[in-house]
């Protein structure tokens, strides 16, 4: 029993010291890819971001959005040319961790409790 308690304590101690990498400034600009399942189909979005503008390319169409950085790892995306009421809503993006050329992020409508996660890959 003491062995199990010691093993549990050591695991807890070592896991509490683990700190995920989060170098967000490397992902403020560049060309990125994001893949997700949409209606059971794997689809890819490519987007080009500079410090204040993001252009998304999806299924042969492009959209432009403004970017307002809250801090190094969080920003607000606002569509510049919304086609309907849903596209008028701003999206809050938060980079959770980074790893070489990828980052995991959480996103959702500004003010909404529901969040989703994704991973983007920097290709340029």
Distance CA 57, CA 121 (A): 15
Q: How far is CA 62 from CA 43, 65, 101, 113, 123, in A?
A: 15, 10, 23, 28, 18
pLDDT confidence band for 4 (50 / 70 / 90):
low
pLDDT at 53 over 80: yes
25-52 pLDDT, tens per residue?
Answer: 999 999 999 988 888 888 999 999 998 9
- The overall average pLDDT reported for the chain is 85
7-27 pLDDT, tens per residue?
Answer: 444 454 444 555 566 789 999
Q: In sequence order, what are the residues at sequence separation of 6 or more whose Cβ sits closer than 8 angstroms to the Cβ of residue 105?
A: 93, 94, 95, 96, 117, 118, 119, 120
**pTM of the predicted model over 0.75:** yes
The whole-number pLDDT of residue 65 equals 96
pLDDT confidence band for 90 (50 / 70 / 90):
very high
The whole-number pLDDT of residue 2 equals 52
Class of the CATH-defined domain 22-122: mainly beta
Where is average pLDDT lowest: 21-25, 64-68, 80-84? Answer: 21-25
The whole-number pLDDT of residue 5 equals 47
The whole-number pLDDT of residue 36 equals 85
Q: CA Rg, the chain, in Å?
A: 18
- Segments making up each domain of the chain, as ranges: 22-122
């Amino acid at each position: 029993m003491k062995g199990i308690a010691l093993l549990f304590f050591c695991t807890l101690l070592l896991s509490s010291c683990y700190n995920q990498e989060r170098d967000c400034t490397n992902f403020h600009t560049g060309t990125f890819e994001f893949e997700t399942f949409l209606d059971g189909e794997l689809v890819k979005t490519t987007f080009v971001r500079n410090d204040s503008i993001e252009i998304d390319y999806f299924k042969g169409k492009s959209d432009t959005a403004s970017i307002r950085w809250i801090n190094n790892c969080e920003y607000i995306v606002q569509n510049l040319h919304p086609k309907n009421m849903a596209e008028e809503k701003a999206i809050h993006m938060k980079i959770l961790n980074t790893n070489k050329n990828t980052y995991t992020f959480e996103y959702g409508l500004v003010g909404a409790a529901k969040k989703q996660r994704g991973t983007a890959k920097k290709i340029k």
